[in-house]
Amino acid sequence: MNIADNCVVSMHYTLTDDMGAELDSSLGQEPFAYMHGTHSIIPGLERALTGRREGETLKVTVQPSEGYGEIDPELIQRVPREAFAGVADLQEGMQFQSDEGGGRSLNIIVREVGDEEVIVDANHPLAGRVLHFDVRIEAVREADPEEIAHGHIHP
């Protein structure tokens, strides 16, 4: 069966950056599974998997525009250090969730800590980066009607 919308795909992958550093991998774990055509994975990878079959391996390079997007400078902000008053040892690289109201939250990363201000970044950590996937398709099956209705796979 070829991968198409409403197929459940199980795959192993290794994700690296332009320098070859491993960013993520499913190797040594259960294969990653998703429903194709539901925007469950980044567009560039989903597009490359369309039409592929179980057992195939492929290497996919995904540009930022087809991955996690370009870096949005408006999502990098200076905030008063007092906003982190409850954090004893604030350090670069720490991650927090900011309540945006309406049940929405925003993940932020501390980029720089100063005496008066903290620079935070709400871009996805992989925004602006070219991503390289090494993929092996382990299984492809049709999603059942309940999975299709819910828009995601069931174990």
Q: What are phi and psi of 8, to 5 degrees?
A: -95, 125
CA distance linking residue 26 with residue 41, whole number of Å: 14
* The pLDDT of residue 107: 92
User: Has residue 126 got a pLDDT over 90?
Assistant: yes
| Cα 126 to the center of its chain, rounded Å | 7
User: Has residue 101 got a pLDDT over 80?
Assistant: no
Q: CB under 8 Å to 73, separation ≥6 — which residues? A: none
* The pLDDT of residue 86: 87
Per residue in 14-67, pLDDT (tens digit) is 999 999 999 999 999 999 999 999 999 999 999 999 999 999 999 999 999 999
* The pLDDT of residue 106: 85
The sign one gets for the Cα dihedral 37, 38, 43, 46 is negative
Lowest-pLDDT range of 42-46, 86-90, 120-124, 134-138: 86-90
Q: How many residues does the chain have?
A: 155
CA atoms within 13 A on the CB side of 31: 16
Q: Which domains does the chain have, with CATH numbers?
A: 7-68+127-150 (3.10.50.40), 73-121 (2.40.10.330)
